[in-house]
Amino acid sequence: MRVLVNASRDTVHPHAGGSEVYIDHVLSGLHARGHQVHLSVGGPAGDHPYPTSSAGGTFGQFLTAPFRALRRSQRADVVVDVANGMTFYSPLYRLAPTVCLVHHVHTTMWSQWFSPPVAAFGRFLERRVMPLAYRRSLFVTVSDSTKRELVALGVDPDRIRLAANATLVPDQPVARKSETPLIVAVGRLVPHKRFDLLLRQWSEIRRATGARLVVIGEGPERGRLEALQSEGVELVGAVSDAERDRLLAAAWLLVHPASVEGWGLVVMEAAAQGTPSVGVDVPGVRDSVVDGLTGWLASGPDRLTATVIRAMSDREELARRSDAARRRARNFGVSQTVDAFEAALIEAATERQPALTASTVGI
């Protein structure tokens, strides 16, 4: 198939996160299977096995999307619009079938990033306009939590397909567990990740566990988090994938206090290295953390401290959940994700173009 993907960012963007990694996994897999894929992004475009192009700045890319459609999307068998709050509304101006990829519904995140009028407009587009514009399209999402959120917006559940985030699981963790208690937190330093919540509660956690905390990631919240930094906390910024995996493998526990996720890729990256997680029982995190098996879910932000202390107090239970986390991570390989996404693309293409069979799209 010829597949065009419209995404707001590429993996080289300073604000790139799990969504961008997901797209790269999927497109690399589709490219390896012989599909002609093209990624159009706002801002810098990185070097990938498949072709990419820059579509302008943070907001300009959405305004110019209809004009780019005249050059590319009309020649595509399927167009994929990645909806990170804002989306590209390809069904309004293109002929090719469209798949709308949604990691999570942004809800309160609009007000964390924008002024009240802009936030209200963004929520209106996401809650009202997006479901209407894509009513004849298939949706792909990464978790049951996001599927339920989309249904609540009015999306037909029969038009939603699941393709979970992919995780690379090594044969063995890349490092041994730290001799002394180590907790790691990983993610973009942005409001909805709530690393400030963890840092505010850290003194009590440290007194009870004697642990040190390493926070991996960069973002606009760094200055605010540095002001909350206390003894035993290290903000290491962005690190290489190899260093991230080494720290995840050495950690006794990953703490992920986010208020919402599509899936929680870092939870599964920790699991791949044999490290269980503590998170708050919120959409996305409750999908990637199996409470009582691969980690612990705090019932609310105010219960995070007690949950972390309880998890760190039992080394045998940590070891059991470490093993269970690695076993579960193996169920979310790249090939399974590409299989599911490819099936959704074929369904979208054949639904709108019945004469287009599996053999004609290269399957």
- Are residues 66 and 51 part of one domain? yes
Q: Which of 76, 75, 67, 65 is nearest to 6 (CA)?
A: 65
Check residue 293 and give its pLDDT: 97
What is the domain count for the chain?
Answer: 2
**What token pair was written down for 268?**
């599964």
Name the pTM for this structure: 0.83
- Are residues 208 and 113 part of one domain? no
- Asked if the structure places residue 121 within a domain, the reply is yes
- Are residues 88 and 156 part of one domain? yes
Residue 354's identity, in one-letter code, is P
How far is the CA of 59 from the CAs of 23, 113, 120, 294, 304, in angstroms?
Answer: 20, 14, 17, 39, 36
- Asked if the structure places residue 359 within a domain, the reply is no
pLDDT < 70 stretches in the chain = 56-74, 107-114, 352-363
Contact criterion met (CB below 8 Å) for 137 and 91: yes
Q: How many CB atoms lie within 10 A of CB 45?
A: 19
- Are residues 191 and 154 part of one domain? no
- Are residues 30 and 128 part of one domain? yes
Q: What tens digit of pLDDT does each residue of 186-212 get?
A: 999 999 899 999 999 999 999 999 999
- Asked if the structure places residue 177 within a domain, the reply is no
- Are residues 219 and 313 part of one domain? yes
- Asked if the structure places residue 173 within a domain, the reply is no
Check residue 46 and give its pLDDT: 85
- Are residues 220 and 155 part of one domain? no
- Asked if the structure places residue 361 within a domain, the reply is no
Contact criterion met (CB below 8 Å) for 50 and 39: yes
- Asked if the structure places residue 52 within a domain, the reply is yes
Check residue 358 and give its pLDDT: 39
**What token pair was written down for 220?**
């606009």
- Are residues 199 and 339 part of one domain? no
- Are residues 36 and 114 part of one domain? yes
Contact criterion met (CB below 8 Å) for 235 and 222: yes
Q: Which CATH number fits the domain that encloses residue 290? A: 3.40.50.2000
Q: What tens digit of pLDDT does each residue of 231-287 get?
A: 999 999 999 999 999 999 999 999 999 998 888 899 999 999 999 999 999 999 999
Question: Which helix (H) or strand (E) covers residue 248, if one does?
Answer: helix 241-250
**What token pair was written down for 91?**
């069904």
DSSP 192: G
Q: Which of 188, 224, 269, 223 is nearest to 15 (CA)?
A: 188
Residue 273's identity, in one-letter code, is Q
- Are residues 288 and 198 part of one domain? yes
- Are residues 73 and 23 part of one domain? yes
Check residue 8 and give its pLDDT: 85
DSSP calls for 38-50: EEEESS-----SS
Q: Which of 263, 226, 239 is nearest to 184 (CA)?
A: 239
Q: What does the buried/exposed string (b/e) look like for 109-146 if buried means 16 or more CB atoms within 10 Å of the residue's CB?
A: bbbeeeeeeebeebbebbeeebbebbeebbbbbbbebb
- Are residues 276 and 128 part of one domain? no
DSSP calls for 292-329: TTTEEEESSGGGHHHHHHHHHT-HHHHHHHHHHHHHHH
**95 lies in which domain range?**
2-166+333-352
Check residue 360 and give its pLDDT: 39
Check residue 262 and give its pLDDT: 85
Contact criterion met (CB below 8 Å) for 346 and 77: no
- Asked if the structure places residue 357 within a domain, the reply is no
Check residue 117 and give its pLDDT: 77
